[in-house]
A = this chain, B = another copy of it.
Amino acid sequence: MMKVNNVSKAHPRGNDIEDTARVFDILARANIIASTTESLELLSEMLDLIIDVCSASAGTMYLLDKGHQELVFQLVRGEKSDEALIGHRIGANQGIVGAAVQQKQAIVVDDLMHDPRWYGTVGSETIALRNTIAFPMLLRGEPIGAIQVFNFQRKPLQLIQMLGNRMSSEYEKAVLLKTSQEYSQRLETLVNLMMQISATLDRDQILNTIIDEAHSLLNAEGTSLFLLDEESNELVLYVSKGSNRIPVADIRIPADTGIIGYVVKTGEIVRLRDAQQDHRHYDGVDRISGVPTRALLAVPLRTPDIVLGRERGISEARIIGGLEAINKFDGEFTEADAQLLRSLAEQAALILHLSNLYSEADELFLSTIRALVAAIDAKDPYTEGHSQRVSEYSVAIAQELRLPPETVHHVRIGALLHDIGKIGVSDVILTKPGRLTAEEYEEVKKHPLIGARIIGQVNLLEAVIPALAQHHERIDGKGYPLGLSGDNIALIARIVAVADVFDALTSDRPYRPAIDLETSLDILRKSAGDHLDARCVEAFLHAYIQGKIVPQK
Protein backbone atom coordinates (compact mmCIF):
# COMPACT_ATOMS: atom_id res chain seq x y z
CA MET A 1 0.00 0.00 0.00
CA MET A 2 1.17 3.50 -0.71
CA LYS A 3 -0.30 6.90 -0.14
CA VAL A 4 -0.12 9.74 -2.58
CA ASN A 5 -0.28 13.31 -1.41
CA ASN A 6 -2.88 15.78 -2.61
CA VAL A 7 -2.62 15.25 -6.36
CA SER A 8 -2.33 18.84 -7.51
CA LYS A 9 0.94 19.11 -5.61
CA ALA A 10 2.28 15.65 -6.47
CA HIS A 11 4.91 15.07 -9.11
CA PRO A 12 4.23 12.42 -11.73
CA ARG A 13 6.18 9.25 -11.21
CA GLY A 14 6.00 5.55 -12.01
CA ASN A 15 3.33 4.84 -14.63
CA ASP A 16 1.56 8.02 -13.51
CA ILE A 17 3.46 9.75 -16.33
CA GLU A 18 1.20 10.32 -19.31
CA ASP A 19 2.16 11.85 -22.57
CA THR A 20 0.44 15.14 -23.37
CA ALA A 21 -1.30 13.86 -26.48
CA ARG A 22 -2.98 11.10 -24.48
CA VAL A 23 -4.03 13.60 -21.78
CA PHE A 24 -5.66 15.85 -24.41
CA ASP A 25 -7.37 12.88 -25.94
CA ILE A 26 -8.83 11.91 -22.56
CA LEU A 27 -9.83 15.51 -21.83
CA ALA A 28 -11.65 15.70 -25.17
CA ARG A 29 -13.59 12.55 -24.18
CA ALA A 30 -14.35 14.11 -20.77
CA ASN A 31 -15.64 17.25 -22.51
CA ILE A 32 -18.03 15.21 -24.63
CA ILE A 33 -19.26 13.34 -21.55
CA ALA A 34 -19.69 16.64 -19.69
CA SER A 35 -22.01 17.93 -22.38
CA THR A 36 -24.77 15.61 -21.12
CA THR A 37 -27.06 17.23 -18.57
CA GLU A 38 -28.47 13.96 -17.24
CA SER A 39 -26.73 13.39 -13.90
CA LEU A 40 -26.75 9.57 -13.75
CA GLU A 41 -25.64 9.17 -17.36
CA LEU A 42 -22.84 11.62 -16.65
CA LEU A 43 -21.57 9.67 -13.64
CA SER A 44 -21.82 6.41 -15.53
CA GLU A 45 -19.81 7.57 -18.56
CA MET A 46 -17.20 9.25 -16.37
CA LEU A 47 -16.69 6.07 -14.36
CA ASP A 48 -16.21 4.12 -17.60
CA LEU A 49 -13.61 6.67 -18.72
CA ILE A 50 -11.70 6.40 -15.44
CA ILE A 51 -11.73 2.57 -15.56
CA ASP A 52 -10.48 2.81 -19.12
CA VAL A 53 -7.75 5.30 -18.24
CA CYS A 54 -6.49 2.94 -15.50
CA SER A 55 -6.89 -0.15 -17.72
CA ALA A 56 -8.83 -1.58 -14.78
CA SER A 57 -11.33 -4.50 -14.85
CA ALA A 58 -13.93 -3.23 -12.35
CA GLY A 59 -14.99 -0.06 -10.57
CA THR A 60 -17.44 1.46 -8.15
CA MET A 61 -18.82 4.95 -7.62
CA TYR A 62 -20.25 6.11 -4.29
CA LEU A 63 -22.05 9.33 -3.36
CA LEU A 64 -21.66 10.73 0.15
CA ASP A 65 -24.84 11.14 2.20
CA LYS A 66 -23.58 13.96 4.41
CA GLY A 67 -26.52 13.89 6.82
CA HIS A 68 -26.00 10.23 7.73
CA GLN A 69 -22.21 10.19 7.04
CA GLU A 70 -22.65 7.21 4.75
CA LEU A 71 -21.34 6.31 1.31
CA VAL A 72 -24.08 5.06 -1.00
CA PHE A 73 -23.20 2.68 -3.86
CA GLN A 74 -24.31 4.55 -6.98
CA LEU A 75 -22.67 2.63 -9.83
CA VAL A 76 -20.92 -0.75 -10.03
CA ARG A 77 -18.93 -1.95 -13.04
CA GLY A 78 -17.70 -5.52 -13.31
CA GLU A 79 -20.02 -8.45 -12.83
CA LYS A 80 -23.71 -8.03 -13.65
CA SER A 81 -24.70 -9.53 -10.27
CA ASP A 82 -22.84 -6.75 -8.47
CA GLU A 83 -25.55 -4.29 -9.51
CA ALA A 84 -27.47 -5.60 -6.51
CA LEU A 85 -25.10 -3.45 -4.47
CA ILE A 86 -26.62 -0.22 -5.86
CA GLY A 87 -28.28 1.73 -3.07
CA HIS A 88 -26.32 -0.22 -0.43
CA ARG A 89 -24.72 2.00 2.25
CA ILE A 90 -21.43 1.81 4.18
CA GLY A 91 -20.06 4.14 6.85
CA ALA A 92 -18.20 7.15 5.43
CA ASN A 93 -15.01 5.99 7.19
CA GLN A 94 -15.39 2.29 6.36
CA GLY A 95 -12.93 0.37 4.20
CA ILE A 96 -10.30 1.67 1.84
CA VAL A 97 -12.74 3.96 0.12
CA GLY A 98 -13.78 5.42 3.51
CA ALA A 99 -10.12 6.10 4.29
CA ALA A 100 -9.69 7.92 0.95
CA VAL A 101 -12.74 10.08 1.75
CA GLN A 102 -11.52 10.88 5.28
CA GLN A 103 -8.00 11.72 4.07
CA LYS A 104 -9.32 13.59 1.01
CA GLN A 105 -6.67 11.91 -1.14
CA ALA A 106 -6.13 8.86 -3.33
CA ILE A 107 -5.07 5.53 -1.79
CA VAL A 108 -3.35 2.89 -3.95
CA VAL A 109 -3.37 -0.70 -2.63
CA ASP A 110 -1.20 -3.01 -4.71
CA ASP A 111 -2.04 -6.15 -2.72
CA LEU A 112 -5.71 -5.96 -1.87
CA MET A 113 -6.06 -9.34 -0.10
CA HIS A 114 -3.55 -8.37 2.55
CA ASP A 115 -5.01 -4.98 3.38
CA PRO A 116 -6.86 -5.12 6.74
CA ARG A 117 -9.37 -2.45 5.58
CA TRP A 118 -10.62 -4.64 2.72
CA TYR A 119 -13.94 -6.35 3.38
CA GLY A 120 -14.65 -7.50 -0.17
CA THR A 121 -18.04 -6.53 -1.42
CA VAL A 122 -17.36 -6.19 -5.12
CA GLY A 123 -16.69 -8.93 -7.59
CA SER A 124 -16.30 -11.54 -4.91
CA GLU A 125 -17.76 -14.22 -7.12
CA THR A 126 -15.99 -14.37 -10.43
CA ILE A 127 -13.44 -11.59 -10.79
CA ALA A 128 -10.36 -12.15 -8.67
CA LEU A 129 -9.47 -8.75 -7.23
CA ARG A 130 -5.77 -8.08 -6.87
CA ASN A 131 -5.32 -4.34 -6.37
CA THR A 132 -7.30 -1.12 -6.07
CA ILE A 133 -7.17 2.66 -6.30
CA ALA A 134 -9.71 4.58 -4.19
CA PHE A 135 -9.98 8.37 -4.44
CA PRO A 136 -12.45 11.01 -3.31
CA MET A 137 -14.62 13.10 -5.65
CA LEU A 138 -13.80 16.60 -4.46
CA LEU A 139 -16.02 19.64 -4.96
CA ARG A 140 -14.42 22.89 -3.82
CA GLY A 141 -11.98 20.76 -1.82
CA GLU A 142 -14.64 18.73 0.03
CA PRO A 143 -15.64 15.12 -0.76
CA ILE A 144 -19.10 14.53 -2.26
CA GLY A 145 -18.41 10.87 -3.09
CA ALA A 146 -15.66 8.45 -4.05
CA ILE A 147 -14.47 6.22 -6.85
CA GLN A 148 -12.73 2.89 -6.58
CA VAL A 149 -11.16 0.89 -9.44
CA PHE A 150 -9.88 -2.69 -9.26
CA ASN A 151 -7.17 -4.64 -11.10
CA PHE A 152 -5.64 -1.50 -12.59
CA GLN A 153 -2.64 -1.77 -14.91
CA ARG A 154 -1.93 1.97 -14.92
CA LYS A 155 -2.22 4.45 -12.06
CA PRO A 156 -2.32 8.01 -13.53
CA LEU A 157 -3.40 9.44 -10.17
CA GLN A 158 -3.22 13.10 -11.06
CA LEU A 159 -5.31 12.56 -14.18
CA ILE A 160 -8.01 10.44 -12.54
CA GLN A 161 -8.22 12.74 -9.51
CA MET A 162 -8.72 15.63 -11.92
CA LEU A 163 -11.41 13.65 -13.79
CA GLY A 164 -13.07 12.79 -10.45
CA ASN A 165 -13.15 16.43 -9.43
CA ARG A 166 -14.45 17.43 -12.83
CA MET A 167 -17.14 14.75 -12.39
CA SER A 168 -18.10 16.28 -9.01
CA SER A 169 -18.49 19.72 -10.46
CA GLU A 170 -20.45 18.48 -13.49
CA TYR A 171 -22.61 16.28 -11.29
CA GLU A 172 -23.44 19.22 -9.03
CA LYS A 173 -24.44 21.30 -12.03
CA ALA A 174 -26.56 18.50 -13.50
CA VAL A 175 -28.33 18.04 -10.16
CA LEU A 176 -28.88 21.78 -9.74
CA LEU A 177 -30.34 22.00 -13.24
CA LYS A 178 -32.54 18.95 -12.74
CA THR A 179 -33.77 20.23 -9.39
CA SER A 180 -34.52 23.63 -10.84
CA GLN A 181 -36.32 22.17 -13.87
CA GLU A 182 -38.37 19.82 -11.73
CA TYR A 183 -39.28 22.68 -9.45
CA SER A 184 -40.45 24.71 -12.46
CA GLN A 185 -42.55 21.79 -13.63
CA ARG A 186 -44.15 21.47 -10.22
CA LEU A 187 -44.85 25.19 -10.13
CA GLU A 188 -46.48 24.86 -13.55
CA THR A 189 -48.63 22.05 -12.19
CA LEU A 190 -49.49 24.22 -9.19
CA VAL A 191 -50.51 27.13 -11.44
CA ASN A 192 -52.72 24.80 -13.48
CA LEU A 193 -54.29 23.35 -10.35
CA MET A 194 -54.92 26.79 -8.93
CA MET A 195 -56.70 27.80 -12.11
CA GLN A 196 -58.69 24.59 -12.20
CA ILE A 197 -59.82 25.10 -8.60
CA SER A 198 -60.70 28.73 -9.27
CA ALA A 199 -62.89 27.88 -12.24
CA THR A 200 -65.67 26.47 -10.14
CA LEU A 201 -67.89 27.68 -7.35
CA ASP A 202 -69.22 24.18 -6.84
CA ARG A 203 -67.89 23.07 -3.46
CA ASP A 204 -67.87 19.35 -4.29
CA GLN A 205 -66.01 19.94 -7.52
CA ILE A 206 -63.36 22.03 -5.72
CA LEU A 207 -62.89 19.26 -3.17
CA ASN A 208 -62.69 16.60 -5.87
CA THR A 209 -60.06 18.52 -7.82
CA ILE A 210 -57.86 18.95 -4.76
CA ILE A 211 -58.24 15.34 -3.66
CA ASP A 212 -57.69 13.93 -7.14
CA GLU A 213 -54.77 16.16 -8.14
CA ALA A 214 -52.83 17.28 -5.07
CA HIS A 215 -51.01 13.99 -4.59
CA SER A 216 -49.66 14.03 -8.13
CA LEU A 217 -48.16 17.45 -7.42
CA LEU A 218 -46.15 15.85 -4.61
CA ASN A 219 -45.71 12.38 -6.09
CA ALA A 220 -47.54 11.02 -3.04
CA GLU A 221 -49.71 7.96 -2.63
CA GLY A 222 -52.80 9.81 -1.51
CA THR A 223 -54.41 13.01 -0.29
CA SER A 224 -56.87 13.44 2.55
CA LEU A 225 -58.85 16.60 2.98
CA PHE A 226 -60.57 17.55 6.22
CA LEU A 227 -63.09 20.35 6.61
CA LEU A 228 -63.79 21.80 10.02
CA ASP A 229 -67.45 21.69 11.06
CA GLU A 230 -67.49 24.52 13.57
CA GLU A 231 -70.91 23.69 14.97
CA SER A 232 -70.03 20.15 16.02
CA ASN A 233 -66.29 20.86 16.38
CA GLU A 234 -65.52 17.88 14.17
CA LEU A 235 -63.33 17.32 11.14
CA VAL A 236 -65.17 15.87 8.15
CA LEU A 237 -62.93 13.58 6.11
CA TYR A 238 -62.54 13.25 2.35
CA VAL A 239 -60.05 10.57 1.24
CA SER A 240 -58.29 9.85 -2.01
CA LYS A 241 -56.47 6.66 -2.87
CA GLY A 242 -55.16 7.35 -6.33
CA SER A 243 -58.17 7.14 -8.59
CA ASN A 244 -60.28 5.25 -6.03
CA ARG A 245 -61.51 8.30 -4.22
CA ILE A 246 -63.75 7.31 -1.35
CA PRO A 247 -66.63 9.71 -0.84
CA VAL A 248 -66.82 9.76 2.93
CA ALA A 249 -69.17 12.59 3.76
CA ASP A 250 -70.26 10.91 6.98
CA ILE A 251 -66.85 10.11 8.45
CA ARG A 252 -66.10 12.59 11.16
CA ILE A 253 -63.45 12.78 13.86
CA PRO A 254 -63.29 15.13 16.85
CA ALA A 255 -61.51 18.34 15.82
CA ASP A 256 -58.52 17.78 18.09
CA THR A 257 -57.76 14.26 16.81
CA GLY A 258 -54.49 13.24 15.23
CA ILE A 259 -51.82 15.19 13.43
CA ILE A 260 -54.39 16.89 11.20
CA GLY A 261 -56.23 18.07 14.35
CA TYR A 262 -52.98 19.60 15.56
CA VAL A 263 -52.45 21.33 12.19
CA VAL A 264 -56.00 22.70 12.06
CA LYS A 265 -55.75 23.94 15.65
CA THR A 266 -52.30 25.54 15.45
CA GLY A 267 -52.07 26.49 11.78
CA GLU A 268 -48.61 24.89 11.70
CA ILE A 269 -47.26 22.70 8.89
CA VAL A 270 -46.28 19.17 9.99
CA ARG A 271 -43.79 17.14 7.94
CA LEU A 272 -42.82 13.65 9.16
CA ARG A 273 -40.62 10.85 7.85
CA ASP A 274 -42.73 8.24 9.61
CA ALA A 275 -46.09 9.22 11.08
CA GLN A 276 -46.31 5.90 12.97
CA GLN A 277 -43.49 7.17 15.24
CA ASP A 278 -45.41 10.36 16.16
CA HIS A 279 -47.56 10.25 19.29
CA ARG A 280 -50.16 12.52 17.67
CA HIS A 281 -50.83 10.03 14.84
CA TYR A 282 -54.40 8.68 14.74
CA ASP A 283 -54.66 5.45 12.76
CA GLY A 284 -58.42 5.59 12.30
CA VAL A 285 -57.97 7.25 8.93
CA ASP A 286 -55.41 4.61 7.85
CA ARG A 287 -58.04 1.94 8.57
CA ILE A 288 -60.67 3.79 6.55
CA SER A 289 -58.43 4.36 3.55
CA GLY A 290 -56.66 1.01 3.84
CA VAL A 291 -53.34 2.85 3.33
CA PRO A 292 -51.00 2.89 6.34
CA THR A 293 -49.39 6.30 6.71
CA ARG A 294 -45.61 6.51 6.61
CA ALA A 295 -44.24 9.83 5.35
CA LEU A 296 -46.73 12.60 6.01
CA LEU A 297 -47.14 16.24 5.10
CA ALA A 298 -50.06 18.17 6.58
CA VAL A 299 -50.90 21.83 5.98
CA PRO A 300 -53.79 23.96 7.19
CA LEU A 301 -56.55 25.09 4.82
CA ARG A 302 -56.33 28.73 5.75
CA THR A 303 -58.31 31.47 4.03
CA PRO A 304 -56.49 34.80 3.92
CA ASP A 305 -58.31 38.05 4.66
CA ILE A 306 -60.70 38.46 1.75
CA VAL A 307 -61.75 41.94 0.69
CA LEU A 308 -65.47 41.73 -0.04
CA GLY A 309 -65.72 45.22 -1.44
CA ARG A 310 -65.68 48.74 -0.13
CA GLU A 311 -69.09 48.54 1.55
CA ARG A 312 -68.77 45.03 2.85
CA GLY A 313 -65.31 45.16 4.42
CA ILE A 314 -63.13 42.13 4.99
CA SER A 315 -63.89 38.50 5.63
CA GLU A 316 -61.20 37.68 8.16
CA ALA A 317 -58.52 35.00 7.77
CA ARG A 318 -59.35 31.69 9.39
CA ILE A 319 -58.57 27.98 9.22
CA ILE A 320 -61.36 25.98 7.60
CA GLY A 321 -59.68 22.56 7.65
CA GLY A 322 -56.50 20.76 6.68
CA LEU A 323 -54.88 18.96 3.76
CA GLU A 324 -52.69 15.92 4.17
CA ALA A 325 -50.48 14.11 1.65
CA ILE A 326 -49.13 10.71 2.62
CA ASN A 327 -46.41 8.32 1.46
CA LYS A 328 -44.18 10.09 -1.00
CA PHE A 329 -43.15 7.59 -3.67
CA ASP A 330 -39.52 8.72 -3.84
CA GLY A 331 -38.73 9.20 -0.16
CA GLU A 332 -39.50 11.95 2.29
CA PHE A 333 -41.47 15.15 1.78
CA THR A 334 -39.17 18.16 1.41
CA GLU A 335 -39.46 21.75 2.50
CA ALA A 336 -40.23 22.59 -1.15
CA ASP A 337 -43.10 20.06 -1.06
CA ALA A 338 -44.43 21.80 2.04
CA GLN A 339 -44.38 25.19 0.36
CA LEU A 340 -46.12 23.85 -2.75
CA LEU A 341 -48.85 22.15 -0.74
CA ARG A 342 -49.24 25.24 1.44
CA SER A 343 -49.78 27.40 -1.66
CA LEU A 344 -52.29 24.94 -3.08
CA ALA A 345 -54.09 24.70 0.28
CA GLU A 346 -54.25 28.46 0.59
CA GLN A 347 -55.76 28.87 -2.86
CA ALA A 348 -58.15 26.00 -2.23
CA ALA A 349 -59.26 27.48 1.09
CA LEU A 350 -59.72 30.81 -0.57
CA ILE A 351 -61.85 29.46 -3.38
CA LEU A 352 -63.86 27.25 -1.00
CA HIS A 353 -64.54 30.38 1.01
CA LEU A 354 -65.53 32.36 -2.09
CA SER A 355 -67.78 29.48 -3.04
CA ASN A 356 -69.40 29.68 0.39
CA LEU A 357 -69.82 33.44 0.13
CA TYR A 358 -71.43 33.01 -3.27
CA SER A 359 -73.81 30.25 -2.17
CA GLU A 360 -74.64 32.27 0.93
CA ALA A 361 -75.52 35.31 -1.15
CA ASP A 362 -77.62 33.08 -3.37
CA GLU A 363 -79.28 31.34 -0.46
CA LEU A 364 -79.87 34.65 1.30
CA PHE A 365 -81.77 35.92 -1.70
CA LEU A 366 -83.86 32.78 -2.18
CA SER A 367 -84.70 32.21 1.48
CA THR A 368 -85.59 35.87 2.01
CA ILE A 369 -88.02 36.02 -0.89
CA ARG A 370 -89.41 32.65 0.20
CA ALA A 371 -90.06 34.04 3.68
CA LEU A 372 -91.65 37.23 2.37
CA VAL A 373 -93.79 35.45 -0.20
CA ALA A 374 -94.89 32.91 2.42
CA ALA A 375 -95.92 35.78 4.72
CA ILE A 376 -97.98 37.37 1.96
CA ASP A 377 -99.61 34.02 1.08
CA ALA A 378 -100.34 33.42 4.76
CA LYS A 379 -102.58 36.47 5.03
CA ASP A 380 -105.21 34.30 3.35
CA PRO A 381 -105.39 30.83 4.93
CA TYR A 382 -106.56 29.50 1.55
CA THR A 383 -103.30 30.46 -0.17
CA GLU A 384 -100.85 29.52 2.57
CA GLY A 385 -97.77 27.85 1.02
CA HIS A 386 -99.18 28.39 -2.50
CA SER A 387 -96.17 30.23 -4.03
CA GLN A 388 -93.63 27.78 -2.63
CA ARG A 389 -95.58 24.81 -4.05
CA VAL A 390 -96.02 26.50 -7.43
CA SER A 391 -92.26 27.10 -7.47
CA GLU A 392 -91.50 23.43 -6.77
CA TYR A 393 -93.96 22.18 -9.39
CA SER A 394 -92.65 24.68 -11.95
CA VAL A 395 -89.04 23.60 -11.39
CA ALA A 396 -90.09 19.96 -11.90
CA ILE A 397 -91.74 20.90 -15.22
CA ALA A 398 -88.71 22.94 -16.34
CA GLN A 399 -86.34 20.10 -15.53
CA GLU A 400 -88.62 17.66 -17.32
CA LEU A 401 -88.37 19.96 -20.36
CA ARG A 402 -84.55 19.74 -20.05
CA LEU A 403 -84.20 23.50 -19.85
CA PRO A 404 -80.68 24.78 -19.03
CA PRO A 405 -79.88 25.34 -15.33
CA GLU A 406 -79.98 29.12 -15.68
CA THR A 407 -83.54 28.97 -17.06
CA VAL A 408 -84.59 26.51 -14.37
CA HIS A 409 -83.29 29.02 -11.85
CA HIS A 410 -85.38 31.78 -13.44
CA VAL A 411 -88.43 29.51 -13.34
CA ARG A 412 -87.82 28.85 -9.63
CA ILE A 413 -87.67 32.57 -8.80
CA GLY A 414 -90.42 33.64 -11.20
CA ALA A 415 -92.83 31.05 -9.81
CA LEU A 416 -92.01 32.03 -6.25
CA LEU A 417 -92.81 35.67 -7.07
CA HIS A 418 -95.71 35.06 -9.49
CA ASP A 419 -98.42 36.36 -7.10
CA ILE A 420 -96.27 39.10 -5.49
CA GLY A 421 -98.56 41.68 -7.12
CA LYS A 422 -101.18 40.78 -4.52
CA ILE A 423 -99.30 43.18 -2.24
CA GLY A 424 -101.09 45.86 -4.23
CA VAL A 425 -104.58 44.32 -3.90
CA SER A 426 -106.68 45.08 -0.83
CA ASP A 427 -106.77 42.42 1.92
CA VAL A 428 -110.50 42.86 2.07
CA ILE A 429 -110.90 41.50 -1.44
CA LEU A 430 -108.18 38.86 -1.18
CA THR A 431 -109.56 37.38 2.04
CA LYS A 432 -113.24 37.85 1.28
CA PRO A 433 -115.23 34.75 2.08
CA GLY A 434 -117.50 33.66 -0.80
CA ARG A 435 -117.66 34.84 -4.41
CA LEU A 436 -116.22 38.21 -5.52
CA THR A 437 -118.26 40.88 -7.25
CA ALA A 438 -117.34 41.72 -10.85
CA GLU A 439 -115.62 44.89 -9.61
CA GLU A 440 -113.68 43.03 -6.97
CA TYR A 441 -112.62 40.48 -9.59
CA GLU A 442 -111.36 43.28 -11.85
CA GLU A 443 -109.26 44.45 -8.89
CA VAL A 444 -107.77 40.97 -8.39
CA LYS A 445 -106.97 40.74 -12.10
CA LYS A 446 -104.56 43.65 -11.68
CA HIS A 447 -102.10 41.57 -9.67
CA PRO A 448 -100.01 40.30 -12.64
CA LEU A 449 -99.19 43.81 -13.81
CA ILE A 450 -98.68 45.15 -10.27
CA GLY A 451 -96.20 42.30 -9.67
CA ALA A 452 -94.41 43.02 -12.93
CA ARG A 453 -94.18 46.69 -11.95
CA ILE A 454 -92.72 45.89 -8.51
CA ILE A 455 -90.13 43.42 -9.80
CA GLY A 456 -89.49 45.66 -12.82
CA GLN A 457 -87.43 47.76 -10.36
CA VAL A 458 -84.90 44.94 -10.16
CA ASN A 459 -82.64 44.90 -13.24
CA LEU A 460 -81.22 41.46 -12.52
CA LEU A 461 -84.72 39.90 -12.44
CA GLU A 462 -85.73 41.03 -15.93
CA ALA A 463 -85.82 37.41 -17.11
CA VAL A 464 -88.43 36.34 -14.55
CA ILE A 465 -90.95 39.13 -15.12
CA PRO A 466 -93.07 37.22 -17.70
CA ALA A 467 -93.80 34.65 -14.95
CA LEU A 468 -95.48 37.45 -12.99
CA ALA A 469 -97.07 39.35 -15.88
CA GLN A 470 -98.34 36.42 -17.99
CA HIS A 471 -99.20 33.53 -15.68
CA HIS A 472 -102.94 34.19 -16.14
CA GLU A 473 -102.74 34.33 -19.93
CA ARG A 474 -104.26 31.32 -21.77
CA ILE A 475 -103.06 29.48 -24.87
CA ASP A 476 -106.41 30.20 -26.56
CA GLY A 477 -105.99 33.94 -25.90
CA LYS A 478 -108.86 34.10 -23.38
CA GLY A 479 -106.65 34.91 -20.38
CA TYR A 480 -105.71 38.24 -18.76
CA PRO A 481 -104.39 40.92 -18.52
CA LEU A 482 -103.41 41.16 -22.23
CA GLY A 483 -105.16 38.19 -23.90
CA LEU A 484 -101.89 36.88 -25.35
CA SER A 485 -102.08 33.46 -27.03
CA GLY A 486 -99.92 30.47 -27.92
CA ASP A 487 -96.17 31.11 -28.16
CA ASN A 488 -96.71 34.82 -27.57
CA ILE A 489 -96.93 33.78 -23.94
CA ALA A 490 -93.40 33.33 -22.54
CA LEU A 491 -92.44 29.71 -21.82
CA ILE A 492 -91.70 30.55 -18.18
CA ALA A 493 -95.29 31.86 -17.81
CA ARG A 494 -96.80 28.81 -19.53
CA ILE A 495 -94.90 26.60 -17.06
CA VAL A 496 -96.03 28.59 -14.04
CA ALA A 497 -99.64 28.59 -15.31
CA VAL A 498 -99.76 24.75 -15.23
CA ALA A 499 -98.30 24.63 -11.72
CA ASP A 500 -100.61 27.43 -10.55
CA VAL A 501 -103.77 25.75 -11.88
CA PHE A 502 -102.79 22.39 -10.36
CA ASP A 503 -102.18 23.94 -6.94
CA ALA A 504 -105.46 25.88 -7.10
CA LEU A 505 -107.36 22.69 -7.99
CA THR A 506 -105.81 20.66 -5.17
CA SER A 507 -106.34 23.40 -2.55
CA ASP A 508 -109.43 24.26 -0.53
CA ARG A 509 -111.16 27.42 -1.74
CA PRO A 510 -113.68 29.61 0.14
CA TYR A 511 -116.31 28.38 -2.30
CA ARG A 512 -115.30 24.67 -2.60
CA PRO A 513 -113.10 22.02 -0.92
CA ALA A 514 -109.89 20.72 -2.61
CA ILE A 515 -110.50 18.57 -5.70
CA ASP A 516 -109.04 15.06 -5.50
CA LEU A 517 -105.77 14.28 -7.30
CA GLU A 518 -107.07 12.09 -10.11
CA THR A 519 -109.79 14.56 -11.03
CA SER A 520 -107.28 17.43 -10.87
CA LEU A 521 -104.87 15.63 -13.21
CA ASP A 522 -107.78 14.92 -15.53
CA ILE A 523 -108.75 18.57 -15.60
CA LEU A 524 -105.14 19.47 -16.47
CA ARG A 525 -105.12 16.93 -19.30
CA LYS A 526 -108.37 18.30 -20.72
CA SER A 527 -107.23 21.92 -20.55
CA ALA A 528 -104.03 21.16 -22.47
CA GLY A 529 -104.05 23.14 -25.72
CA ASP A 530 -106.82 25.61 -24.89
CA HIS A 531 -106.21 26.95 -21.41
CA LEU A 532 -102.76 25.45 -20.76
CA ASP A 533 -99.71 24.72 -22.94
CA ALA A 534 -99.89 21.06 -24.04
CA ARG A 535 -96.14 20.46 -23.81
CA CYS A 536 -95.98 21.88 -20.29
CA VAL A 537 -98.98 19.78 -19.17
CA GLU A 538 -97.33 16.69 -20.62
CA ALA A 539 -94.07 17.51 -18.81
CA PHE A 540 -96.04 18.01 -15.60
CA LEU A 541 -97.80 14.65 -15.91
CA HIS A 542 -94.50 12.95 -16.72
CA ALA A 543 -92.83 14.49 -13.67
CA TYR A 544 -95.87 13.51 -11.59
CA ILE A 545 -95.66 9.85 -12.65
CA GLN A 546 -91.97 9.79 -11.71
CA GLY A 547 -92.77 11.09 -8.23
CA LYS A 548 -91.16 14.45 -8.84
CA ILE A 549 -94.36 16.34 -8.04
CA VAL A 550 -95.34 16.07 -4.39
CA PRO A 551 -98.81 17.66 -3.96
CA GLN A 552 -99.86 19.15 -0.61
CA LYS A 553 -101.50 16.75 1.81
| A184 in complex: contacting residue of B24, B37, B183, B359, CB < 8 Å | B183
With A18-B20, A37-B176, A454-B375 given, is the CB distance from A162 to B28 under 8 Å?
yes
Stretch at the interface among A114-122, A293-301, A361-369: A361-369
Any chain B CB within 8 A of the CB of A518?
no
Give Cα A187 to B370, complex, Å.
Answer: 47
Give which listed residue, B20, B31, B363, contacts A165 with CB less than 8 A: B31
Query: Does B180 contact A184, Cβ atoms closer than 8 Å?
Result: yes
A371 near B195: Cβ-Cβ < 8 Å? no
Is there a chain B Cβ closer than 8 Å to A12's Cβ? yes
Flag A66-94 by CB within 8 Å of B: 1 or 0 each. Answer: 00000000000000000000000000000
Q: Does A190 make an interface contact (CB < 8 A)?
A: yes
- Closest Cβ of chain B: how far from A401's Cβ, in Å? 15
> Which of the segments A124-132, A424-432, A508-516, A522-530 contacts the partner chain?
A424-432
Interface residues of A in 25-69 (CB under 8 A from B): 25, 27-28, 31, 34-35, 37
B354 touches A201 (CB 8 A): yes
Contacts of A427 in B (CB 8 A): 426-428
Minimum CB–CB distance for A53 against chain B, Å: 14
Nearest Cβ distance between residue A214 and chain B, in whole angstroms? 15
- Secondary structure at the A interface, as helix, strand, loop or mixed, is helix
A361: chain B residues within 8 A (beta carbon):
358, 361-362, 365
Chain copies in the assembled complex: 2
Quick one: which of A20, A190, A205, A306 has the most chain B CB within 10 A? A20
Convert A443-461 into 0s and 1s, putting 1 for each residue whose CB lies closer than 8 angstroms to a CB of B. 0000000100011011111
Contact of A312 among B180, B305, B406 (CB under 8 A): B406
Closest residue of chain B to A451, judged by CB?
B375
| A20 contact from B20, B180, B199, B307, Cβ within 8 A | B20
CB interface residues, A 280-322, toward B, < 8 Å: 304-314
Contact partners of A274 in chain B: CB under 8 A: none
Least Cβ distance of A274 to chain B in Å? 30
A166–B358 CA distance with the chains assembled, in angstroms: 60
**A200's contact among B35, B306, B343, by CB below 8 Å, is which?**
B306
Partner of A371, one of B169, B367, B375, B454: B454
Report B-chain residues with C-beta under 8 Å of the C-beta of A110.
none
The answer on a CB contact under 8 Å between B177 and A173 is: yes
Q: Across the interface, which residues of B come within 8 angstroms of A438, CB to CB? A: none
Convert A166-184 into 0s and 1s, putting 1 for each residue whose CB lies closer than 8 angstroms to a CB of B. 1001001110110011011
Closest 6 CB pairs of A and B: A313-B405, A361-B361, A187-B187, A200-B307, A371-B457, A180-B180
